[in-house]
Amino acid sequence: MSATLSLPGSAPALGLVEETDLFQFFRSRVQEATTHQRACVSEGAQVYLAQLLTEVGHGGEGDDSPGPCRSEETFAELHVKAALAHPGEAVTLLKRLGDWSLLLTGFFREHLARRRLSREYCARMGGGAYHRLERMFPGDDTLAPVFGELAERYDACSEVIAEVRDEAAGRSDADVLRLYEEWLRTGSPRVAERLKELGVVPGRGGKACLA
């Protein structure tokens, strides 16, 4: 089944094409995470998230692939470039800004501290980029709603990606420690529930016990 969405100018197509086993894997995991969290995320947004994770799974090949952990560009620089670019290039830059921020807050959360970025800052920059993309497609009943939803439900989409990442990770001591450290930083109910599933019950005052 194909649902390729072309963007104007020199911008790449969104390419929402269901054609690879890896895409189907992430499509299923995104759907499961959405259902588990009872998140209000539409099918169109779920397909977008699955595609984004598929690109990560393929190693971020291509100039326009997500690479938030490798790029030396800051979000502020991308924001300025997009503001000064012609429409076609602006779409590419805004999509990169939105996608990279979503991946950092969802899939690569441990890199936030390394890059000295707060989750709130990433959400503001990413959500703002998706809002601008929504406005660049007035009257488009396919693109505009997806970008608008990514902007309005940014946190929900980020949490869905985070759960997919956690479920795909192993159950090693390092994985459990990473989750516990994330719970200490954020107090996320989702992370607490995942820890309980792994046999660790987070407690008050930074204490934990084995279930």
| pLDDT of the chain, 211 residues: tens digit per residue | 333 333 333 333 333 444 457 888 889 999 999 999 999 999 999 999 999 998 887 765 444 444 655 567 889 999 999 999 999 999 999 999 999 999 999 988 878 877 788 999 999 999 999 999 999 998 888 899 999 999 999 999 999 999 998 887 656 666 666 777 777 777 778 778 877 776 666 665 444 444 4
Buried/exposed 106-126: b ≥16 CB within 10 Å, e otherwise: bbbbeebeeeebebeebbebb
169 touches 34 (CB < 8 A) = no
Output the six-digit token pair for 49: 């998230």
Q: Hey, which bits of the chain come out as E strands?
A: 2-3, 16-17, 200-202, 208-210
What's the whole-model pTM score?
Answer: 0.73
Q: What ranges do the domains of the chain cover? A: 2-168, 171-211
